[in-house]
Amino acid sequence: MSEVQIEALKPFNKTPQGDLCEVGDSFRVAATRADELERLGLAKRADGEKGAPKPANKAAPTPANKVKPAHSSKAVRLGG
């Protein structure tokens, strides 16, 4: 089981014996415990480790032939 470095965002029990950590404390915990603390909003990973990297946005730019034309300044009145 791998361990990761986390930083406390709120006070919580570090151990089942009731050892409290304060805001800003940094210590190592198991990766599954770190995931749980992140999900609860109690801590964040301090060493920058993430489960999976964010994918790059691969959307292609809009081609020139798909751009909408500008509206005409002339108004057309129908059936009047």
29 vs 74, more confident: 29
Tell me if 30 is assigned to some domain.
yes
Rounded CA-CA distance 9/79 in Å is: 67
Tell me if 71 is assigned to some domain.
no
Rounded CA-CA distance 50/26 in Å is: 17
Predicted local distance difference test score (pLDDT) of residue 57: 73
Predicted local distance difference test score (pLDDT) of residue 44: 92
Average pLDDT over residues 63-77: 68
Residue range(s) defining the domain that contains residue 33: 1-47
Give 69's pLDDT tier (boundaries 50, 70, 90): low
Percent helix, percent strand, percent coil in the chain, to nearest 5:
15, 20, 60
Tell me if 28 is assigned to some domain.
yes
Handedness of CA 30, 34, 36, 42 (dihedral sign): positive
31 vs 79, more confident: 31
Domain count along the chain = 1
Tell me if 70 is assigned to some domain.
no
Rounded CA-CA distance 34/46 in Å is: 10
